[in-house]
């Protein structure tokens, strides 16, 4: 049986460099703009762009549940992956919830992983991903592909 391993780091916000702490702070702020009346799970996502700016997004739910969108994809839909100025160096996600275990880092859903990966492939540069929690523990990967082994990509579509 073959085994798959991928590199990740578990840390705390205080141990990360200042510019990543700022990125995480922006993701945390973005939870305030989440529209999550059904799950009460308020997610904020932030992207650090190549020009040093930070863009944010939040989850937006819908009474027709599948119409809702995660914070990560809401954020990415406003960023052009082919614009070099807008290349994404890193993303952070955090949440607030009265129901969740607040020490568990937010792990992006499968569709968001696929979407982040498509952005990474389009910009041809890795996106580091910081998965945060309200109580502090952070898990990060330097490359979004590490979160999606055997991912589906354009390579699968053509000979």
Active site residue 72: yes
Instruction: Give Rg (Cα) of the chain.
Output: 15
CB of 131 to ligand THU, least distance (A): 9
Of 13 and 27, the one with the shorter C-beta distance to ligand THU is 27
Tokens of 132: 């945060």
CB of 142 to ligand THU, least distance (A): 19
* Alpha carbons 48 and 22: distance in angstroms, whole number: 10
Of 13 and 71, the one with the shorter C-beta distance to ligand THU is 71
CB of 97 to ligand THU, least distance (A): 9
Tokens of 98: 């009265």
Tokens of 125: 């540069």
The residues that bridge with 55 in the sheet, in sequence order, are 47
Active-site pick, 22, 26, 72, 142: 72
- Where does this chain bind ligand THU (CB under 6 A)? 36, 39, 41, 43, 59, 61, 68, 70-72, 93, 106, 108-109, 112
* Alpha carbons 60 and 71: distance in angstroms, whole number: 7
The CA-based dihedral angle spanning residues 70, 72, 78, 80, taken in that order and rounded to the nearest 10 degrees: -140
Of 98 and 154, the one with the shorter C-beta distance to ligand THU is 98
- Catalytic residue numbers read 72
């Amino acid at each position: 049986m073959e085994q798959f391993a991928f590199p990740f780091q578990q840390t705390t916000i205080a141990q990360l460099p200042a510019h990543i702490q700022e990125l995480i702070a922006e993701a945390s702020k973005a939870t305030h703009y989440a529209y999550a009346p059904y799950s009460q799970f308020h997610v904020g996502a932030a992207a650090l762009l190549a020009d040093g700016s930070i863009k944010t997004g939040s989850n937006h739910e819908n009474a027709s549940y599948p119409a809702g969108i995660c914070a990560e994809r809401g954020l990415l839909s406003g960023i052009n992956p082919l614009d070099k100025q807008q290349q994404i160096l890193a993303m952070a996600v955090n949440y607030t919830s009265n129901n969740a275990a607040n020490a568990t880092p937010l792990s992006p859903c499968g569709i968001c992983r696929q979407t982040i990966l498509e952005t990474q492939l389009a910009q041809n540069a890795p996106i580091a991903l910081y998965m945060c929690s309200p109580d502090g523990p952070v898990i990060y990967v330097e490359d979004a592909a590490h979160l999606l082994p055997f991912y589906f990509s354009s390579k699968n579509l053509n000979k």
